[in-house]
Structure 1
Amino acid sequence: MQTFKKSIITLGLGLIVAVLSACGAVTGETESETVSIGVVGENNDVWDFVIEKLEREEGLTVELVRFTDYAQPNTALAQGEIDLNAFQHKLFLESFNEDSGTTLVPIGDTVIAPLGIYSDKLTDVDDLSENDTVAIPNDVTNGGRALLLLQTAGFITVDPEAGTTPTVSDITDNPLNLDIQELDAAQTARALQDVTASIINSGMAVDAGFVPTEDAIFLEPVNEQSDPYVNIIVAREEDADNEAYQKVVEAYQAEDTKEVIEETSKGSSVPAWD
């Protein structure tokens, strides 16, 4: 009987400890939340600053998950492998949702990172000549953006009916008969030795050692037509109002972050949330 009573007492105490532990009452602590953010590329000085600030001011742990191309981060987010991502502009997300049947949503603007034309053979974009080869990204939105940049620079004309996503088949005039090669965005910088010029996304250019405002031979203008190319922080639709995720947005969209963006990018990225 004595053994039976001791067993009952031990069981009861165990249940009490388990309940108190679950409620955080034993130590007075709660489990800290970790937010994972998918990014593309190795240069993440701004995010490093934001992450340190969130840890210091909010006690929020944020981890960057690095991807090597634009094909992966949205799929990883949709499948619940990461919590947020921050690598794409609005038009890219719109295209991905349409093609994939997903409902990922932007929860905060970050920067506009102008697209640039780069060359290790030319020092002036006006030196492009007949039959020169130009590499552009091969995804619909960045490829279309690249063609519009070539149009802005005065080298081609595209059918206005194609809107913001023209393809090579929408080129209506190409006086220099430029040979436009479509490559994965991650390959456009590496292709410079094989082409006359390459149109490279800002992040890829920075990873390749370029400072866009200094090294591009032609840089995309930032104006009222730039809104589709504003970069964004993205979440799953059901998580759009998540308190921790909103703290991430608030920490990014701050004056001290703006200063870091301007300093580290040397003006190559433009804060876009004001």
Structure 2
Amino acid sequence: MKLKKVLCIGTAAVLSLALLAGCGGESKDSGESKKESKKIVVGASPSPHAEILKEVQPILEEKGYELEIKEYSDYVIPNTAVEEDEIDANYFQHITYMNNFNEERGTHLVSAGEIHYEPFGIYPGTTAKLEDLKDGDKIAVPNDTTNEARALLLLESQGIITLKDGAGLNATKKDIEENPHNVEIVELEAAQIPRVLSEVAFACMNGNYALDAGYTAEKDALVVEDASSDAVKAYVNVIAVKEGNENNDAVKALVEALKSDDVKTYIDKTYNGAVVVVE
């Protein structure tokens, strides 16, 4: 009887310790999960997007969120990373590019908020002024569908080419109807264009890649898009997330922080018109 009593007491003690250990482990895991859920990972191009996000980090920290920024130098991987749930959101693209990306690749990206636009410009390469354009000169443009159209529309606004009626925001090189100077349109990945300025007469560049190369629309561009144009509205930069995540608390906090007065002031003072906040 004594032996059985000792065994029962020992067994009960072991079970109690196991239960306590189990509760302790559950509490720890629960705490880690809670901490993990307050973190948001956002993909961004180095400039200006990642720079702006760094200004957002302390604002989000005050709200209890940890913002991790992953930098990308292309226009594809940050979208596939969102689609595949590798990151929570990205901030690098305009809404028209995002919509076309969905259509072409079958992804499910949506805008969680419109943040800013970057005036698209024509920049000098080997030639300093547009009026010095010569027959047969080369002009570099981005090769992705939406940004190529944006470049061609800007060239048309300067009388360099004429596009077919209705080409609009879907224009490609094939839509050039008149080319009086017989210019050669050189299609390149947007990120590569700043590297070929010594090889082309002019280059049509996205604002972020111009900034990366040390240029600003205000100081260096020969001409930029009209701020009231349909093109600017179509190319507003957004926070992109996978469909269904746009109302996530962390995403909403991110968008709210990006639209704060502090961030607006930072953008206005830092980029001198190269990045324009959307009200």
TM-score bracket, normalised by the shorter chain, equals over 0.9
Asked whether the 8 Å contact 1:113–1:202 carries over to 2, the reply is yes
Equivalent position SS for 2:187? strand
User: How many angstroms does 1:42 deviate by?
Assistant: 4.5
- Residue 190 in structure 1 maps to residue 195 in structure 2: yes
Q: 14, 17, 29: which is aligned to 1:10?
A: 17
Q: Which moved more, 1:185-194 or 1:15-24?
A: 15-24
User: How many angstroms does 1:233 deviate by?
Assistant: 0.5
User: How many angstroms does 1:17 deviate by?
Assistant: 2.5
Partners of 2:30 and 2:86 in 1: CA distance: 27
Letter of the structure 2 residue corresponding to residue 154 of structure 1? G
Asked whether the 8 Å contact 2:141–2:205 carries over to 1, the reply is yes
Where does residue 3 of structure 2 map in the other structure?
A: none
Q: How many residues align?
A: 269
Q: 68, 71, 83: which is aligned to 1:66?
A: 71
Q: 92, 96, 102: which is aligned to 1:87?
A: 92
Q: TM-score, normalised by structure 1?
A: 0.93
Where does residue 272 of structure 2 map in the other structure?
A: 266
Where does residue 241 of structure 2 map in the other structure?
A: 235
Where does residue 248 of structure 1 map in the other structure?
A: 254
Q: 199, 208, 221: which is aligned to 1:203?
A: 208
Asked whether the 8 Å contact 1:41–1:204 carries over to 2, the reply is no
Where does residue 110 of structure 1 map in the other structure?
A: 115
Q: 172, 177, 185: which is aligned to 1:172?
A: 177
For structure 1, the residue ranges without an aligned partner over 5 or more in a row are none
Partners of 2:248 and 2:208 in 1: CA distance: 28
Q: Which moved more, 1:75-84 or 1:219-228?
A: 219-228
User: How many angstroms does 1:6 deviate by?
Assistant: 2.3
Where does residue 4 of structure 2 map in the other structure?
A: none
Paired-residue identity, %: 35
User: How many angstroms does 1:232 deviate by?
Assistant: 0.5
Partners of 2:73 and 2:24 in 1: CA distance: 46
Where does residue 46 of structure 1 map in the other structure?
A: 52
Letter of the structure 2 residue corresponding to residue 259 of structure 1? T
Partners of 1:239 and 1:61 in 2: CA distance: 17
CA distances 1:184-234 after superposition (whole Å, capped 9, x unpaired)? 111111010111111111100100111221011121221141211111001
- Greater gyration radius: 2
Question: Cα RMSD (Å) of the superposition?
Answer: 1.8
Q: How does 1:109-128 map to 2 (within 5 A)?
A: 109-128=114-133
User: How many angstroms does 1:163 deviate by?
Assistant: 2.4
Partners of 2:243 and 2:201 in 1: CA distance: 43
User: How many angstroms does 1:23 deviate by?
Assistant: 5.2
Q: Which moved more, 1:41-50 or 1:88-97?
A: 41-50
Where does residue 212 of structure 1 map in the other structure?
A: 217
Equivalent position SS for 1:117? strand
Partners of 2:229 and 2:204 in 1: CA distance: 21
Q: TM-score, normalised by structure 2?
A: 0.91
Q: Which moved more, 1:43-52 or 1:146-155?
A: 43-52
Where does residue 40 of structure 2 map in the other structure?
A: 35
- Residue 137 in structure 1 maps to residue 147 in structure 2: no
Equivalent position SS for 2:92? strand
Where does residue 263 of structure 2 map in the other structure?
A: 257
Equivalent position SS for 1:80? coil
Asked whether the 8 Å contact 2:143–2:189 carries over to 1, the reply is yes
Partners of 1:179 and 1:224 in 2: CA distance: 26
CA distances 1:142-192 after superposition (whole Å, capped 9, x unpaired)? 011100010112211111222211011100111111111101111111010
Equivalent position SS for 2:35? coil
Asked whether the 8 Å contact 2:47–2:209 carries over to 1, the reply is no
